Amino acid sequence: LQSYSSSHHNKEFHISTQNMTSKIILISVTCVGLAQCLFRQGLRAPPISKEPLPEEKWLTQSLDHFRPTESRTWKQRYWINWKHYKPGGPALLMIGGEGEANPAWMEAGSWLKYAKDEGAAMLLLEHRYYGKSHPTPDLGVKNLVWLSSRQALADLAAFTLQMKAEHNLNGPWVSLGGSYPGSLAAWYRLKYPHLVAGSVSTSAPLLAKADFFEYLEVVESALDTTVPGCVDVIKEAIRKTQFLTAHRVGWQMLKKRYNLCSNFDGTNSNDVINFFEALIGNFEGIVQYNKDNKAFEGAEWMNVTIDTVCNIMTDKKGSEIEKLAKVNDLALMMAGEKCLDHSYDSEVKSLQDNSWDSDAAGGGRQWTYQTCTEFGWYQSSDIPGNPWNNIIPVKFFEKMCSDIFGPKFTMDLLEKGIKETNSEYGGVDMKVTNVVFVHGSIDPWHAMGITQDAPAKSSTIFIEGTAHCANMYPEAEDDPDQLKKARVQIGKLVKSWITEANQKNHP
């Protein structure tokens, strides 16, 4: 919901080969091309702590939790922080997601206070197939069959039981996650309520859906609410840019104006769509992480916000295309790239690489696979009424599945997977207790989550003016009051779940 969950690769991520994945992932401050925007979804790295971090540990996991005849195992990585633990106390489990897990979280974020308040152990489990948790020799299609949210939840259950046995962690467990791991946190409580007393589900998409045009709708609203008129100028700039894609003279202008790495070919529809995905992605990435206490990424880009890009677009100087190009230049600078690689074929080729040593193994190939088989969540421009003139159709992403993984990965397979996901977990109609669903009003992912009418004995917190996973980051003095109150409210809920579980276990 990029952008990898626990340590989404940031500015050093090589954009020319990963454009397609970042809409898949939520990778950096902004997106450059499809890879940087593909599934923009995820929790970014926390501040670097001065405290020494716990050492990584490994446990043996089953390759397939649901086939008794499958006996193969693999090693999964995790961390434990005992600093605040009091004997007999609870355990807080942060769930890893669609990228390498970052142990910096063991000494950072709002859950640190919850651990101090409750005398809790802090645990972080890396998601199978991400980071260094490699269940199979490579990422070939036949080996990705064990990559699913269902298997990941079973990993969590096996991990919980093993930690209880090894460390006598028999107090109540509470799970926490942001973005896709926020979904897993809610689903863990849904599927394994005997193992986890409650869950904090932050910025979590819960309804699987192929055509996620609502993402762009929220982006539009956030831009126009912050700087009225901003969206109209962007649309006009896109319209004029689209006009230039129709003739060869325009192609040359586009290459120069938008600093493309290679020549523009308006007859190559995949490249054209990829190009527009990059231009829109520049705004989507800024909106998703607007004012999210970016100090953890270094002060260099702390002040790049919705106001920054919209003030560029609404400046009376320059044409619409010049202003859109200026935003693109800023995005390239933030990403450390010299030019914009808009080539669809190069990105597909990158994501076809199934080696653990490849750039795609940073999370792009794996998360793309999960979207093609379980979730969808493709951020198209297919808003009813076609206000963006069909520049990013959902069919583009659906075709990508078969181009990367082979002809079996069709639209039918995707729809079947989405149907099974919603059947398995219940979408936004899930019936689960002791889960708090936390969302920010300008985070586009809230459109696929539960923001009101929570299930019985669960609750929602909707924070006006905040972006993706804002409540999980360290508190800042200038945080909005609603955000500060949300962190306190979450802490009270965590305490109540732990108290309730202790009372049941020790009446």
- Alpha-helical (H) ranges within 168-314 are 180-191, 214-226, 230-244, 248-257, 269-288, 306-314
- Which residue type is seen at 37? C
Q: How is residue 431 annotated by DSSP?
A: -
Residue with tokens 């079973």: 154
Rounded to whole angstroms, the Cα distance separating 228 from 68 reads 59
- Alpha-helical (H) ranges within 10-62 are 15-18, 22-25
Per annotation, catalytic residue among 271, 341, 443, 479: 443
Report the run of H or E that residue 463 belongs to, with start and end: strand 459-463
Per annotation, catalytic residue among 6, 179, 183, 343: 179
Asked about 443 being catalytic, the answer comes back as: yes
Asked about 468 being catalytic, the answer comes back as: yes
Helix 320-335 and helix 248-257, axial crossing angle in degrees, nearest 10: 50
Contacting residues for 340 by C-beta, under 8 A, at least 6 apart: 32, 33, 258, 259, 260, 261, 275, 278, 328, 332
Instruction: Of 339, 337, 360, give the one whose Cα is nearest residue 349.
Output: 360
Provide the phi-psi class of 427: left if phi over 0, else alpha when psi is between -120 and 50, else beta. Answer: left
What is the side-by-side order of every strand in the sheet holding 435-440?
Answer: 57-62, 73-81, 121-125, 91-95, 173-178, 198-202, 435-440, 459-463
Secondary structure (H, E, C), 51-115: CCCCCCEEEEEECCCCCCCCCCEEEEEEEEECCCCCCCCCEEEEECCCCCCCHHHHHCCCHHHHH
Per annotation, catalytic residue among 343, 439, 468, 479: 468
Q: What is the pLDDT along the chain (507 residues), one digit of tens a residue?
A: 433 333 333 322 233 333 444 343 333 223 333 444 444 456 667 766 677 899 999 999 999 999 999 999 999 999 999 999 999 999 999 999 999 999 999 999 999 999 999 999 999 999 999 999 999 999 999 999 999 999 999 999 999 999 999 999 999 999 999 999 999 999 999 999 999 999 999 999 999 999 999 999 999 999 999 999 999 999 999 999 999 999 999 999 999 999 999 999 999 999 999 999 999 999 998 898 887 654 443 435 557 889 999 999 999 999 999 999 999 999 999 888 999 999 999 999 999 999 999 999 999 999 999 999 999 999 999 999 999 989 999 999 999 999 999 999 999 999 999 999 999 999 999 999 999 999 999 999 999 999 999 999 999 999 999 988 999 988 888 899 999 999 999 999 999 999 999 999 877
Query: Which tokens in the block code for residue 65?
Result: 């939790």
Q: What is the pLDDT of residue 52?
A: 87
- Give the number of other Cβ atoms within 10 Å of residue 267's Cβ: 9
Provide the phi-psi class of 131: left if phi over 0, else alpha when psi is between -120 and 50, else beta. Answer: left
- Which residue type is seen at 50? K
Q: What is the pLDDT of residue 478?
A: 87
Q: What is the pLDDT of residue 213?
A: 96
Helix 394-405 and helix 411-425, axial crossing angle in degrees, nearest 10: 100
Report the run of H or E that residue 373 belongs to, with start and end: none
Query: Which tokens in the block code for residue 8?
Result: 């989404």
Strand partners, 60: 75
Half-sphere exposure in the Cβ direction for 289 (13 Å, CA)? 33
